[in-house]
Amino acid sequence: MTSMFSLEGKNAIVVGGGSGIGEAVAMGCAEQGAYVRCLDIDLDSATGTAAVIRTVGGEADSGQVDIVDGAAVTAAFEGLKADRGSLDVVVCTPGINVRKPLLDYTDEEIDRVLSVNIKGNAHVIQAAGRIMAAQGSGSIILFSSIRSLVVEPGQSIYAATKAGIVQLVRAAAAELGPSGVRVNAVAPGVIDTPLTEPIKENADWYNAYGDRNIFKRWGTAREMAGPTVFLASEAASYVTGTVLFADGGWTAIDGRFTPPGM
């Protein structure tokens, strides 16, 4: 069974590989034997992740890309294909959120969230899908969220985009499946990363999120690497068009109160 989870001989791109979940996923893929190209809008952070991977014996390099720029995404993906001969795995983790009431959103803020979270992920599917369909194989993994199912005040546009990513994944899976390409999503719960640092500054907010799930704690970026590597590997060869919730049971339970006697 161990070999089913191996990524030996695979060439992977992790977009957002410079920090947080993307960094953890890049390192996880490398640990399973993949050659990893870490791409990020912040080139220095991507370069840092690749350097750490090489330090521990993995194979990796880095580059810069903004997923809003479709031509740049295509060039970056075709670059790995040209350099390594195949593009076997693509993971895209970046997303942005503007936390505010829906009635207070400006057009610019709406456009910014939609542009990164929807257009950017569509660019990733397009660029990866064209290459993988032509070679007859590949796995594309996007990142959705618990917010694709459940919301709270201030999460309107973000939640809409995370639900939209699910539909992008399903449609792409249906369209690319006949060519041997699998498309799936991971949906994290509350994960302790640099992007969630502001929440830590408010103890009530931070603790409320931790208490909301079954495990009564936040998840770590490292805990997102396992589900992602699974979807990338042959262990998930019959898995496509689906969403893997890695949320500590957040979406499985209703409410925060445990009835007496339970």
Predicted confidence band at 246 (pLDDT cuts at 50, 70, 90)? very high
Instruction: State the sign of the Cα–Cα–Cα–Cα dihedral 164, 168, 169, 173.
Output: positive
Contact status, residue 76 vs residue 66, Cβ threshold 8 Å: no
Q: H-helix or E-strand containing 188? A: strand 181-188
d(CA 229, CA 89): 10
Catalytic: 158? yes
As a whole number, mean pLDDT of residues 225-246 equals 98
Eight-class DSSP state of 233? S
Q: Of residues 72 and 258, which shows the higher confidence score?
A: 72
Distances (CA, A) of 12 to 162, 173, 255: 23, 19, 39
The domain covering 2-192+224-245 belongs, at the CATH homologous superfamily level, to NAD(P)-binding Rossmann-like Domain (3.40.50.720)
pLDDT at 260 > cutoff 90: no
Phi-psi region of 14 (alpha: psi -120 to 50; beta: other; left: phi over 0): beta
Instruction: Count other Cβ atoms within 10 Å, centred on residue 256.
Output: 9
pLDDT score at 160: 98
Predicted confidence band at 1 (pLDDT cuts at 50, 70, 90)? confident
pLDDT score at 138: 98
Query: Could you report the per-residue pLDDT of 102-121, keeping only the tens digit for each?
Result: 999 999 999 999 999 999 99
pLDDT score at 196: 83
As a whole number, mean pLDDT of residues 5-19 equals 97
Q: What percent of the chain has pLDDT over 70?
A: 97
- 183, β-bridge pairs: 140
pLDDT score at 252: 94
CA–CA–CA angle 85, 52, 196 (5° rounding): 105
As a whole number, mean pLDDT of residues 167-196 equals 96
pLDDT at 217 > cutoff 80: yes
As a whole number, mean pLDDT of residues 86-111 equals 96
Mean pLDDT of the chain: 95
Least confident range from 38-42, 44-48, 184-188, 193-197: namely: 193-197
As a whole number, mean pLDDT of residues 54-66 equals 98
Angle between helices 43-55 and 20-31 (to 10 degrees): 30
Burial status of residue 255 (CB atoms within 10 A of its CB: 0-12, 13-18, 19 or more): exposed
Instruction: Count other Cβ atoms within 10 Å, centred on residue 82.
Output: 9
Q: Which residue's structure tokens are 């893929």?
A: 29
Marked catalytic residue, from 158, 206, 209, 238: 158
As a whole number, mean pLDDT of residues 58-70 equals 98
Question: 117 in helix, strand or coil?
Answer: helix
Buried-state track 28-57, b at ≥16 Cβ within 10 A, e below 16: bbbbbbbbbbbbbbeeebbbbbbebbeeee
Domain ranges in the chain are 2-192+224-245
